[in-house]
Amino acid sequence: MIHDWVEHKVPHGSAIMLPDGAILARILWPGQPHFQPFSQVNVAGDDLKFWYPAHDRLETPGFLASQSQIFDDGTIERLRRLSIAVVGASGTGSPVVEQLYRLGVGELVLVDDEPAEERNINRVLNSTIRDARRQRPKVLLQKEAIERAGLGTRVVALEENLWTREAVHEVAQCDVVFGCMDSVDGRYLLNTISTYYSIPYFDIGVRLLPDQRWGRQGIREVCGTVNYLQPGKSSLMSRGLFSMSQVAQAGLARNDPAAYRQQVDEGYIAGGENHRPAVISVNMFAASLAVNEFLARLHPYREEENAEHAAVQFSLASMELISEAETGTCDILAGRTGLGDVEPLLGQLELMKVK
């Protein structure tokens, strides 16, 4: 009857919400005689909610027994079903990966196109000097460590830049995204993926400010922020982390380094630092804060509502944690929530399908 009304061979879905807020859904594919249940229903709000068919239960493995003393079996089961993308496998990315697979996350999609280097071995977990000298990809080092642990987490390791169709499609199929990148254009693209595919996004930023006053060498500030971005709400741009002009500059640097350098030399663009100082203890602090922020939304335990913690800033110089509440929407991404697969992909000409 539904197919006759629409007169197009497209899938049709239906959903019901139960009194406790749980959502069940099913889909009818063209040419199939019966509805099939959705394997999972996701709601990416202030809290993260996931529902599965009641008959499809998973047993809790022994290595997660101590975790279940803190988080209930339902939370453990949700973790084991989740697919989580971690974009960036270096200073903050590798400790995020380490925590997630030891928490029992079912699948990790790792995206990073850079090899290990001696300058970052001091903060990339599971890496060695030998790996750096052999220029082994960071994502493969993480994949090998996860598989060596034997805890059951599936791994998809993409030695790709995020600005590729393959990487976007892999990330878009995940339930949660962690962004562990310094690049402005990469963070913008992740925020866009989150919006188009309705995926919750945790962005991690770390900053060490050197103290160069009076000729001294030292550190003036050690700080960072974990931003939680919901589809359809505020963005990294509306929160003032960077402008679209900076996104364009970063894109120019990535696609045409010579033209970018010329504009810097001519004063059109302010040149940025190539390598910011980084310390493993600070990166691990930020990574742990981000994973705990994720857990607080998967299994709410805070005294305040999660809406009060859209951004959590830390300062190790003043020993402070400062939270900011979710407010407003993003004018740039408004109207794009849940659009999914469109051409050009994500509305970006750079990601247009080549015929």
| Domains of the chain with CATH codes | 39-351 (3.40.50.720)
Q: Which of 16-30, 114-128, 245-259 has the lowest mean pLDDT?
A: 245-259
The pLDDT assigned to 280 comes to: 93
> How do beta strands 219-229 and 201-210 pair?
antiparallel
The pLDDT assigned to 216 comes to: 59
Contact status, residue 288 vs residue 64, Cβ threshold 8 Å: no
Longest CA span, the chain: 79
The pLDDT assigned to 343 comes to: 94
Amino acid found at 283: N
Mean pLDDT of the chain: 90
> In terms of pLDDT, which residue wins out, 170 or 52?
170
Q: What is the pLDDT of residues 221-240, one digit of tens each?
A: 889 999 999 999 999 999 99
238-256 mean pLDDT: 90
Q: What is the pLDDT of residues 262-271, one digit of tens each?
A: 766 666 555 5
The pLDDT assigned to 67 comes to: 79
pLDDT-based confidence at 213, cuts 50/70/90? Answer: low
Given a cut of 90, whether residue 311 has pLDDT beyond it is: yes
The pLDDT assigned to 214 comes to: 54
308-314 mean pLDDT: 96
Question: What does the DSSP 8-state code read for residue 332?
Answer: T
Where do runs of H (alpha helix) occur along the chain?
Answer: 2-6, 73-81, 93-102, 129-133, 138-149, 165-172, 184-196, 244-255, 257-265, 280-298
pLDDT-based confidence at 59, cuts 50/70/90? Answer: confident
